[in-house]
Amino acid sequence: MASKKHEYQLLELQYKLAPVYFLAPALILFSIFVIYPIFQTIWISFHEWSGFGPLKWVGIENYKTLFSDSRFYMSLKNNILWLLFMMLAPVIGLTIALFLNQQIRGMKLIKSLFFFPFVINLVVVGLVFSWFYNPDLGLLAELFKLVGLKPIPVLADENLATFGVIFAGLWPQTAYCMILYITGLTSVSPTLIEAGRIDGASGRQMLFHVILPQLRPATIIALTVTVIGALRSFDLIAIMTAGGPWGSSYVLAYHMYDEALFNFKMGYGASIAVVLFLIMTVFIYFFLKNIIKEEK
């Protein structure tokens, strides 16, 4: 009898402790390498630090420097440009998704070929687009020569470099949004579409009043991932322009990387990271508010 009771207690205990031991590995790793470093970055941003030796408290000095740093404003401006122009990705993605929403032979293969850019790493994307813009051998230069114009060295032009990089970034991002919309389109109600047709709705009316409202979930995800992608832009800049020419294609992430690892200004780099974090926090806040509301 006693052993039975003992066994029951054990069963009860392992049930009670289940959340602890199931969560522990993920929680420990995630806290050490993701959550804790966020707070460390904030802490470091109030110090002067070269990466070695003790930190020297300087209060908000780094943030003051930030607001008189022309490269910081350039980075901020470019991040805003990234945010704005990357918004073309959901629009073009939806357009291609609608274009491909037909049932003909071989469409499955065609769709998967359209998805390809999303899977390719950005180093390769950056390489290919640098060649595309190359004023001596690139395809863009060939096109310019074809119409009798002098080729423009896009990535070496301070006013164009950022746009050149954003354009390269649009390629994989559009493929991503397109995948989301293609999947979204499969769940659009056919009866509503037929009803619309019978009522004589035009293509435009159908799109804006029947299709788009039903694609709302896909749109929310597409916008979210595009915002995240725009704020994380780094790889393409490192590969294509290294922030140049004369710092004209810097973004916050690149500025932070440069100050911290090449100028050994960890504290200053951290303050740039904090600004980037704060911008993202605004977006995370709205996204989480939605999710938590659904949970409750």
Partner 1 sequence: MFPTPIQRRSVSVRLIYKISLFLVLAFWLLPLIAVISTSIRPGSDISAGNYWGIPSSFAFLENYSEVFNPQRSPMLRYFVNSALITVPAVLVSIFISAMAGFALAIYPFKGRIALYAMFIAGNFIPFQVLMIPVRTMFVNLGLFDTIFGLALFHTAFQTGFATFFLRNFIAELPFSLIESARVEGATEVRIFFTIMIPLLRPALASLGVLLFTFIWNDFFWALTLVQSDKARPITFGLSALKGQWLISYNLIAAGAVVAALPSLLVFFVLQKQFIQGLSFGGVKE
Give, as ranges, the residues between 276 and 295 that touch partner 1 (CB under 8 A). Answer: 276-277, 280, 283-284, 287-288, 291-292, 295
Among the residue ranges 60-68, 83-91, 154-162, 256-264, the one whose residues contact partner 1 (CB under 8 A): 256-264
The site string for partner 1 over 78-107 (x = CB under 8 A, - otherwise) reads: ------------------x-xxxxxxx---
Tell me the three state secondary structure of residue 85: helix
- Say whether residue 66 binds partner 1 (CB under 8 A): no
Question: What gap in Å lies between CA 254 and CA 122, rounded to an integer?
Answer: 15
Q: Which residue has the tokens 């009522």?
A: 199
Ranges within 158-217 binding partner 1 (CB under 8 A)? 171, 176, 179-180, 183-185, 188, 190, 193, 203, 206-207, 210-211
Alpha helices (H) along the chain: 2-30, 36-44, 61-66, 70-86, 88-100, 107-119, 122-133, 139-146, 161-186, 190-198, 203-205, 212-214, 216-231, 235-240, 252-261, 266-295
Residues 159, 248 contacting (CB under 8 angstroms): yes
What is the closest distance, in whole angstroms, from the C-beta atom of residue 159 to partner 1 in the complex? 24
**Closer by beta carbon to partner 1, 159 or else 168:** 168
- Say whether residue 239 binds partner 1 (CB under 8 A): yes
Among the residue ranges 56-64, 66-74, 151-159, 224-232, the one whose residues contact partner 1 (CB under 8 A): 224-232
Tell me the three state secondary structure of residue 57: strand
**Closer by beta carbon to partner 1, 152 or else 238:** 238
Site size for partner 1 (CB under 8 A): 99
**Closer by beta carbon to partner 1, 58 or else 225:** 225
Question: What gap in Å lies between CA 160 and CA 85, rounded to an integer?
Answer: 13
- Say whether residue 76 binds partner 1 (CB under 8 A): no
Ranges within 139-168 binding partner 1 (CB under 8 A)? 139, 142
Q: Can you tell me which of 1, 2, 4, 19 binds partner 1, judged by CB under 8 A?
A: 19
DSSP per-residue letters across 154-184: GGG-TTTHHHHHHHHHHHHHHHHHHHHHHHH
